[in-house]
Structure formats: C-alpha cells, structure tokens
C-alpha cells in the first residue's frame, strides 16, 4: 500500500451532533502526524463537483461544541452511478487526496465500499447517525445528544399534560430503528413505547391506557416514526376513536432531535474514533467503520456495519413493561 500523504474528510447523509468534534479530531490527528488534510463539502456531491479545500488547525478551531457539520452534508444521486463516481475520483486526484474518512451512516458506508472497490482508495468510516443503528459500535455519534434532547422535550410536554389531564402521543425519529424511542421512553416514564422492531398490539395498548386511566392524570406514549402501526398520527386517530372522551394530543418532535450542542459523551466518542480513523489509515486499514465496543476501539467491515440487524435489548423491553404500571 502506498504511503498516505493527504486525507480527505467528509460528512454525508443526515447530520448528527458531534460530527464537528469528529472532523476536528481527524484534522488535528492528521496534522499531528505531518499529513495534509482536505475538507470535502456536501459529501459525495461535493466530491463530484470539486468542492474541496485544504484544512489546517484553525479550520477546526472552536467547533467541538457546535452541532451540525461545518463541512455541510447532502445526498447525491449522481454518486450512485459509475459516471458520478469517476468524476469524484478525478477530483480527488486533482487535489492529491489519497485516503478518505467518511462520517455518516449506512448510506455513507455503502457508497464508500463501492467507491473504494472501484478505485482502490483507502476509506474508513465514523458512525455519525442519531439512530444508533449500526453494527460495530455500542453508540453512534449523535445518539446520546438526540436522546437527551428528546427527554428534555418530553419532560416539558409532561408538565402541560399533567396540568390538563391529557394524553400525549409523541413521535420521535427512527424510521428503521426504535432505539431512540426505547431509551427515551424509559427515561421519561412513558406509559407505552411503540417501535419498528416489535409488532404493535393495539388491544394491549388500549389495556395499558385503561390501567393508567384510574390513577394517572397524564399519559405519554412514545412512538418511533417507523412503527408499523403508522406513526403518532395514526395511533392518535385509533386512540381517539376508542376513547373519544380522552383529551388526546399528538406532538412530532422532528428535526430538533438532530440539532443542539453535542453532549460530553458524543464529543468524547467522536474524538476517540476520529483519532483512531487517521491511525487506522496509516496502518493500512480500509473498508472499515471505526467504533467503540465495551470501551475499546473496534474495526468493523462496512458490509457488517450496515446490515441493519441491531437487536433490541430484550431486557429494556422487559423494563418498559414493569415500569409502565
């Protein structure tokens, strides 16, 4: 493998809090080892159009606490084509980039795997997604911030629900994964949690609402947007039909879950894997996602990281049933 001299760094797909911390770690680690760093704006789309620029230590000053990504992010349909990837490769050669660090989720790693196989450029990935749905790491960058954002919002919703004796159905992000809903539901004392990984039993939900009706002035249901029953509005419609006397409201938290200052946990995770990514490239790694498992840096092949078969902790589901009485 040729010696690496210039590492390109980019963010792709949905943004997540802590991406800037990861960018900072990649840039400063590369500089520490006397390597050049090239920033790529707007992910694969910017790679195709040549939106690349040299980065130095000042480029990442005062960003560790900022949400979003200073490199911007975008989805690229053109990169899905061989012609688009050929354009991207020519731009990388033009700027002297000979290795890449991609920060994102399954779409980012799928593209990286294909691109690296076609052109032989070493690429490693960092798990940047609020959904926590990647294999090969206990937590993804942004997950901790997102669940704290949700809990803070639901606590405030609980205040008004208590004041008006209302039932609130709160929808959180998670089209394919219910891990945001599961942990935030437990932390916020939700009466029920509906997630894509488990079949929604509407009759059991009604029974649980009946149990709480007698001695709880407020009730909170947490619904992942990808729940097979149809999300918060559909659940709200069913509940209103069953219990027309309930004062029921639906609240969709939406993209606020992606924003905000990253938590200490996300900043440290991003910093750890950012440093490890540069060192992994220097030691010949490629086609791998860098994560942390049981406190230790881990290396997972892209094809394993993106399988989307992260199992829901059965004990957490059991805890939901016990504590929702």
CATH code of residue 189 = 3.40.50.460
Q: Are residues 266 and 226 in the same domain?
A: no
In the prediction, which pLDDT does 311 show? 72
pTM for the model: 0.93
pLDDT of 142 strictly over 80: yes
7 secondary structure, DSSP code: E
What would the pLDDT profile of 228-237 be if each residue is shown by its tens digit?
A: 767 889 999 9
CB distance 173 to 253 below 8 Å: yes
| pLDDT above 60 (res 58) | yes
Q: What residue numbers does the annotated binding site cover?
A: 14, 24-28, 75-76, 105-108, 129-131, 158, 166, 173-175, 189-191, 216-218, 225, 249, 255-258
Q: In the Cβ-directed half-sphere of 139, how many Cα atoms lie within 13 Å?
A: 22
Check whether residue 211 and residue 279 sit in a common domain.
no
For residue 119 the two structure tokens come to 């052109």
* Closest of 126, 133, 81 to residue 104, by C-alpha: 126
Distance of alpha carbon 316 from its chain centroid, rounded? 20
| DSSP designation for 74 | -
Residue 1 has pLDDT above 70, yes or no: no
Q: Which residues are annotated as a binding site for substrate?
A: 129-131, 166, 173-175, 225, 249, 255-258
Residue at 317 is within a domain: no
Q: Would 47 be classed as within a structural domain?
A: yes
* Positions at the binding site for ATP: 14, 75-76, 105-108
The SS3 of residue 112 is helix
Q: Into how many domains does the chain fold?
A: 2
**Is the same domain home to 222 and 293?**
no
Beta carbons of 67 and 98 less than 8 angstroms apart: no
Identify the burial level of 282 via C-beta atoms within 10 angstroms of its C-beta, where 0-12 means exposed, 13-18 middle and 19 or more buried: middle
User: What phi, psi does 303 have (nearest 5°)?
Assistant: -65, -25
120 plus 204 within the same structural domain = no
- Structural domain of residue 204, as residue ranges? 145-258
- Same domain assignment for residues 204 and 251: yes
Residue 277 confidence (pLDDT):
98
Which residues are annotated as catalytic?
131
Tell me, yes or no, whether 14 and 104 share the same domain. Answer: yes
CA–centroid distance for 53 within its chain: 26
pLDDT at 309 over 80: no
Same domain, 91 and 188: no
pLDDT in tens, 152-162: 999 999 999 98
Mean pLDDT estimate for the chain: 92
């Amino acid at each position: 493998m040729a010696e690496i001299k210039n590492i390109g760094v980019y963010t792709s797909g949905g943004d997540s809090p802590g991406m800037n911390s990861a960018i900072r770690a990649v840039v400063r680690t590369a500089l520490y080892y006397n390597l050049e760093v090239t920033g790529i704006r707007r992910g694969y789309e910017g790679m195709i159009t040549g939106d690349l620029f040299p980065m130095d230590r000042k480029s990442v000053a005062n960003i560790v606490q900022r949400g979003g990504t200073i490199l911007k992010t975008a989805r690229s349909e053109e990169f899905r084509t061989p012609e688009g990837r050929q354009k991207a490769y020519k731009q990388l050669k033009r700027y002297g980039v000979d290795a890449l660090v991609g920060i994102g989720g399954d779409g980012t790693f799928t593209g990286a795997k294909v691109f690296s196989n076609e052109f032989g450029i070493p690429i490693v990935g960092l798990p940047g997604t609020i959904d926590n749905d990647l294999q090969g790491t206990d937590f993804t960058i942004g997950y901790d911030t997102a669940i704290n954002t949700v809990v803070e919002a639901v606590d405030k919703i609980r205040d008004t629900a208590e004041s008006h004796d209302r039932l609130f159905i709160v929808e959180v992000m998670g089209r394919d994964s219910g891990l945001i809903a599961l942990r935030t539901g437990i932390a916020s004392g939700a009466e029920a949690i509906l997630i894509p990984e488990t079949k929604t039993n509407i009759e059991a939900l009604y029974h649980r609402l009946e149990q709480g009706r007698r001695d709880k002035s407020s009730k909170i249901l947490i619904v992942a947007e990808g729940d097979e029953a149809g999300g918060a509005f559909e659940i709200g419609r069913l509940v209103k039909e069953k219990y027309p006397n309930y004062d029921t409201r639906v609240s969709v938290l939406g993209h606020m879950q992606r924003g905000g200052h990253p938590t200490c946990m996300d900043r440290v995770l991003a910093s750890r894997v950012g440093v490890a990514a540069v060192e992994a490239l220097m030691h010949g790694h490629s086609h791998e996602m860098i994560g942390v498992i049981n406190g230790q840096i881990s290396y997972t092949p892209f094809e394993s990281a993106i399988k989307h078969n992260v199992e829901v902790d059965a004990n957490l589901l059991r805890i939901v049933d016990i504590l929702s009485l």
